[in-house]
């Protein structure tokens, strides 16, 4: 295992025992309310505890020396009850009680953020098309959502080119990334941040029209995808091939949410670009299209395929930038884990002929 990162969680809500080994790309599947979100939020807590505590303080959320308050503020209102089961976390062999991680006393915490979390509720970060900041949320709204919204707010506040044009934005994404987004999601329309009814709001201007279309009139897929796109702007610094300083991990919950299957083909391309920049990616998904992609990449790897095969799979153009993206998965470790009541099961082979129904059925998705 190249990364060697392993997280085990015991007695946390619906999770009795779950251990997950992380690769360059890790996909979690499983039933609704099975613990995938809890597990991934616990990963962020382990990696970013100091940063989370500092962020609460900066935004005047009172969690000092109160583990119950911290749990409600971090996981969501009412989630302090999870401490009743005395949950424990083991990260790369080091064991911690969850209450210990909620402890805010002491000094010398590492306040560096290492993991960027794009939550499933991301569309609420753009309420009626108006970017929200951390302080606009209530105590008990999940930290992952509050912090993500705050980052999106900062991205939009810095401004873009051409009257605050958000997409397309050549200085943000190259054509290999932006063209399929335009083709499958925006169809030549421009997304901008403009004054509207006394506030700066996101609007859509279709080709050949004079008036902008308000955010709530967009398609569900467009409303779900745009905050994900803005999260990518945070992760892909302008110019060059670098990743954002200090950030090493990216979690994306349900990246396919609201998307037509053709539009969902954009997601693997964006994930591979993040991997090319050096990020470790963890995804939770309820979509067979995500596992279709993972299965196909594993087949290409095992059959000795090359970048041309990946390019054909993703319908990438024959350009140097596209080839660099297509080369990414050929040498990467990709794991799939099925989270269920019995724990976490490695189903990475996705072998349709397996005697194990969880493997052949792709964790119940197929």
- Mean pLDDT value across residues 80-108: 87
Tell whether the model's pLDDT for residue 56 goes beyond 90. yes
Q: For the chain, state the CA radius of gyration.
A: 21
Q: Which of 263, 359, 350 is nearest to 301 (CA)?
A: 350
CA atoms within 13 A on the CB side of 63: 31
Question: Which letter does DSSP use for residue 152 in this model?
Answer: H
Cis peptide before 168 (omega within 30 of 0): yes
Tell whether the model's pLDDT for residue 109 goes beyond 80. no
Contact 254, 228 (CB under 8 A): no
CA distances from 163 to 21, 71, 200, 319, 359 (A): 45, 41, 12, 30, 50
Contact 353, 307 (CB under 8 A): no
pLDDT band at 1 (very low <50, low <70, confident <90, very high): very low
pLDDT tens digits, residue range 221-272? 999 999 999 999 999 987 677 888 899 999 999 999 989 888 999 999 999 9
Of 128-132, 196-200, 267-271, 282-286, give the lowest mean pLDDT range: 196-200
Greatest CA separation for the chain: 61
pLDDT band at 161 (very low <50, low <70, confident <90, very high): very low
Tell whether the model's pLDDT for residue 287 goes beyond 70. yes
The reported pTM is: 0.94
What's the whole-number average pLDDT of the chain? 91
Bridging pattern class, strands 165-167 and 249-253: unpaired
Of 108-112, 140-144, 152-156, 206-210, give the lowest mean pLDDT range: 108-112
pLDDT tens digits, residue range 305-352? 999 999 999 999 999 999 999 999 999 999 999 998 878 999 999 999
pLDDT band at 363 (very low <50, low <70, confident <90, very high): very high
- Mean pLDDT value across residues 192-205: 87
d(CA 255, CA 63): 31
């Amino acid at each position: 295992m190249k990364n060697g990162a392993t997280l085990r969680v015991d007695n946390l809500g619906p999770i009795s025992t779950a251990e997950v080994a992380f690769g360059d790309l890790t996909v979690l599947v499983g039933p609704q309310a099975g613990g995938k979100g809890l597990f991934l939020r616990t990963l962020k807590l382990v990696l970013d505890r100091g940063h989370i505590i500092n962020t609460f303080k900066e935004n005047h959320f009172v969690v000092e020396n109160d583990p119950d308050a911290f749990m409600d503020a971090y996981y969501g209102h009412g989630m302090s009850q999870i401490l009743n089961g005395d949950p424990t976390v083991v990260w790369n062999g080091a064991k911690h009680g969850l209450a210990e991680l909620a402890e805010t006393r002491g000094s010398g915490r590492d306040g560096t953020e290492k993991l960027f979390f794009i939550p499933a509720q991301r569309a609420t970060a753009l309420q009626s098309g108006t970017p929200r900041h951390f302080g606009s949320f209530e105590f008990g709204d999940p930290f992952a959502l509050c912090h993500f919204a705050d980052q999106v707010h900062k991205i939009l506040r810095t401004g873009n080119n051409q009257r605050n044009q958000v997409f397309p934005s050549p200085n943000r994404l190259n054509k290999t990334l932006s063209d399929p987004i335009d083709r499958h999601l925006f169809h030549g329309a421009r997304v901008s941040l403009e004054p509207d009814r006394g506030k700066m709001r996101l609007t859509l201007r279709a080709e050949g029209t004079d008036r902008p279309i308000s955010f709530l009139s967009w398609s569900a897929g467009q409303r779900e995808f745009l905050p994900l796109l803005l999260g990518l702007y945070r992760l892909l610094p302008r110019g060059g091939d670098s990743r954002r300083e200090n950030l090493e991990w990216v979690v994306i919950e349900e990246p396919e949410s609201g998307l037509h299957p053709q539009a969902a083909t954009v997601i693997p391309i964006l994930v591979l670009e993040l991997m090319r920049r050096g990020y470790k990616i963890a995804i939770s998904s309820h979509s067979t299209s995500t596992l279709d992609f993972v299965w196909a990449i594993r087949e290409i790897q095992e059959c000795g395929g090359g970048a041309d095969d990946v390019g054909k799979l993703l319908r990438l153009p024959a350009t140097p930038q596209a080839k660099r993206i297509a080369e990414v998965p050929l040498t990467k470790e990709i794991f799939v884990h099925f989270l269920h009541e019995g724990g976490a099961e490695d189903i990475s082979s996705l072998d349709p002929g397996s005697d194990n129904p969880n493997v052949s059925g792709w964790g119940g998705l197929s």
